[in-house]
Amino acid sequence: MPHVFSVDVEDWYQGIEIPMDQWEGFERRVKASMGDLLDLMARYGVTATCFVLGKVAEEHPDLVRRIHEAGHEIATHGYSHEKVYNLSPERFRRELRHSINLIQDLTGERVCGHRAPYFTITEESLWALDILRDEGILYDSSIHPVFNYRYGIPNADRQPSVIESDDGAQMLEVPVATYPLPDPLPDANIPCGGGAYLRIYPYRVQRWLLRRIEERGEHISVYVHPWEVDPGHPKIDLPFQVSATHYWNLDSTLSKLERLFQDFTFRSYRDVFADELDELAA
């Protein structure tokens, strides 16, 4: 059963809540770290969806072209990496349009997918779903059915589902992987879709959780960031909660991904959900 692998293409300083107007002085490392991921995926025949941050597309157009030429789907990760619930609807729409146009101009292909920075489409920002549909997005992967201090809708659907707006417009929502805890803990799910959780869990625990999901006949989506395969990126002082997840066990990421690619089959959202997306686009 093919599952989905995705990459949130952002540089190391963009994922730690540093405002965009302070990015200028930080070392750019995303081209090298994304290159390592592209090489690993090519070795194991993995085709991914790459949610590219608009600012990365603006600064590194050659990287976007390289990802596209390698056969991966390119979707949008927004522009500024600001949490959605901190944006006004007007700014969210403006940044979404800008990021989509940047990518489409580089690839010549329609952008169909979106993932919010930090999975921050929450109960506070469900308004963003209507804007995504308005701007031509066919699928989203921003709603994480877990408890987290930055994000999460714990009782959201764990599996892919079609969300319909009042005017009848539809979009596919595809959460990253979680494993449901049994009663009496309803709506309590174990996050196991990658990112910090891939680095925190021993690999045997990660594999066990994904196998149990697979045995349930359910879809699996796993993701990672390029900076997670770059343990040499600069270490700066951060609030404990942020630092603990950002820098934890970075040395383990590449080897765990290699084992993951050996144990599971991964494709892009575009490939796995081709029929559903064709129907939504019709």
Q: Say if CB 218 and CB 177 are below 8 A apart.
A: no
Helix (H) or strand (E) holding 222: strand 221-224
Please determine, for residue 256, whether its predicted confidence score (pLDDT) is greater than 80. Answer: yes
Q: What is the mean pLDDT of residues 60-84?
A: 98
Residue 239, preceding bond cis, omega within 30 degrees? no
Condensed to tens digits (0 to 9), the pLDDT of residues 79-127 reads 999 999 999 999 999 999 999 999 999 999 999 999 999 999 999 999 9
The distance of Cα 27 from the centroid of its chain, to the nearest Å, equals 23
Neighbours of 82 (CB within 10 A): 19
pLDDT given for residue 185 in this prediction:
64
Predicted confidence (pLDDT) at residue 151 exceeds the cutoff of 70: yes
pLDDT digits (tens, 9 = 90+) for 170-225: 999 999 999 998 866 667 899 999 999 999 999 999 999 999 999 999 999 999 99
Average pLDDT over residues 139-156: 95
Q: Is the pLDDT of residue 271 over 70?
A: yes
| pLDDT for residue 241 is more than 90 | no
Tokens of 58: 């603006």
Which DSSP category does 184 fall into? T
Percent of the chain surpassing pLDDT 90: 90
Are 170 and 163 contacting, i.e. CB atoms less than 8 angstroms apart?
A: yes
Mean pLDDT across 131-151: 95
Q: Cα(157)–Cα(172) distance, rounded to whole angstroms? A: 12
> pLDDT of 4-63, one tens digit each?
999 999 999 999 989 999 999 999 999 999 999 999 999 999 999 999 999 999 999 999
Q: Which domains does the chain have, with CATH numbers?
A: 2-281 (3.20.20.370)
